[in-house]
Structure 1
């Protein structure tokens, strides 16, 4: 299922069933909160919400933060929505598995449906915080890391040096992707020489990659935890003359990254 259809389906599941005709039915109002639109992945997510709003005839109140890792700003948006009181359901992508939980608990106690996308709140965490999540939607991040490791293993000799650029180490998505890649790479006989976080920042990823390449002239591949950072790493390989010498693999499949292939 493509992203646009996925988010249309998600919003449909939030809309309560009604026997009232389409002409007289109430127009439902749903909050959709993501991470920063500075990341092209979440810009795509917004396009999905926009599509669903028109396709399903619902009102979607959209929220995001200007920059990555703005936990407090994201929490404030959710708090303001709850205080305003007109939303009938919430679709949330938190920065971290616990960063929105104080408000999500209050939403659940009002018996309003919550769908959790991408950065998942573990079931045990939600239960402990009295949060009722009606659906969780995310890619298999561990499997994504494994697939990238398999690609590298098919492209470089056994025993090759490889490096990892993580996202935010406090996020489930980064941790799982790195875990999947690390385990599969080690099992396949690759030598992981470095693993450092760039906190989803393209410029920082570029700087880290430059340092990694300068520190290990035998480096054969770099695994990057998302596409936006990977574009920074590609820039670093170009700037250091390593294009074609070092394989860069990542996760998400954003349009900008696909264009760079």
Structure 2
């Protein structure tokens, strides 16, 4: 979910011939495997109590089924279980998997385990939340590829749409997640960039990714700014809290709300008019491409260092299409791994 880091492919010593126990060495720098291999994949992701990561797991497993591979997927107990997630990766690192998909809770909590994998010449595929580039470099553990959403671009897309919904110079507010969170900050920054000079951003607050807190914050903002025209909200769960606050104030349809993520409840709310739009990202596609990256590495292909996952603006006009397709994107998107695996 955070912005894309400037990763580059891991060095040959950390990536050559890693996806078969019996494969040969000698691939070029940046190559992530040896030709003709079959991946044996383990994935460590965030908590499966969240539908976002359930969808990510589904993408990993569905692509595994299509490829005749059964990946092992383990998850943290919760979004704050940094130590437990790290322990899971360490345990898996001691097994004979050849490609590891990692979705870290923080930028650094999996670095020690990733360094252990790099020392064993295993392929590391980083999805969704980036490993801290500096910490990874210091540990000689830079992943072979990163696949994730450009969150600033997602915020920009929301801001551009907001300018079509409200009058010029109208007052809007932004509700972010946890103060200092990279994902939240990037989304709000993107929204601010897109609306600068066009709308008045009168207040930005943090609601800790919590629906009830967002409801409370939105209520307070509406009281402080009775002429408010719109809310940008950094995720759908908070967006639904804001929608409830707006409904409680009797202002549904008068105060416009755009959030980010594209979960099913939000898509339904867009269809019914509770939300004006959501910028949908697709954890299913992120997980699927992570699995494809392992397949490509097994075939001796050089992995692209940085792959942007698809996002789509969902409004009432296309909400039915988005709902019918979920958890998959309803439009086309670039997937460089398909060409690498001959898909």
* Residue of structure 2 equivalent to 1:176: 186
**Equivalents in 2 of 1:51, 1:59: separation in Å?**
9
Question: 2:246 aligned with 1:256, yes or no?
Answer: no
Could you tell me the TM-score, scaled by structure 2's length? Answer: 0.64
The equivalences for 1:89-238 within 5 A come to: 89-188=99-198, 190-238=199-247
Structure 2 residue corresponding to 1:68, chosen from 69, 79, 101: 79
Alpha-carbon displacement from aligned partner over 1:33-92 (angstroms, at most 9, x marks no partner): 222333322221111012022111222121223433332232222223224x23222111
Q: 1:128 to 1:153 in 2, by over 3 A?
A: same
Whether the aligned pair in 2 keeps the contact of 1:161 and 1:191 (CA below 8 Å) is yes
Could you tell me the TM-score, scaled by structure 1's length? Answer: 0.82
Alpha-carbon displacement from aligned partner over 1:162-196 (angstroms, at most 9, x marks no partner): 111112344432221111112222232x2222222
* Residue of structure 1 equivalent to 2:50: 39
Secondary structure, in 3 states, of the residue corresponding to 1:103? Answer: helix
**Equivalents in 2 of 1:95, 1:207: separation in Å?**
27
Secondary structure, in 3 states, of the residue corresponding to 1:144? Answer: helix
Structure 1 gap ranges (5+): 1-13, 21-25
Whether the aligned pair in 2 keeps the contact of 1:96 and 1:171 (CA below 8 Å) is no
**Equivalents in 2 of 1:193, 1:121: separation in Å?**
33
Structure 2 gap ranges (5+): 1-17, 20-32, 271-343
Question: 2:89 aligned with 1:78, yes or no?
Answer: yes
Deviation at 1:150, TM superposition (A): 0.9
Secondary structure, in 3 states, of the residue corresponding to 1:49? Answer: helix
Quote the RMSD (CA, aligned, Å): 2.3
**Equivalents in 1 of 2:197, 2:262: separation in Å?**
25
Which of the two has greater helix per residue? 1
**Equivalents in 1 of 2:248, 2:85: separation in Å?**
36
Larger relative contact order (CA 8 Å, sep ≥ 6): 2
Secondary structure, in 3 states, of the residue corresponding to 1:116? Answer: strand
Q: 1:249 to 1:50 in 2, by over 3 A?
A: same
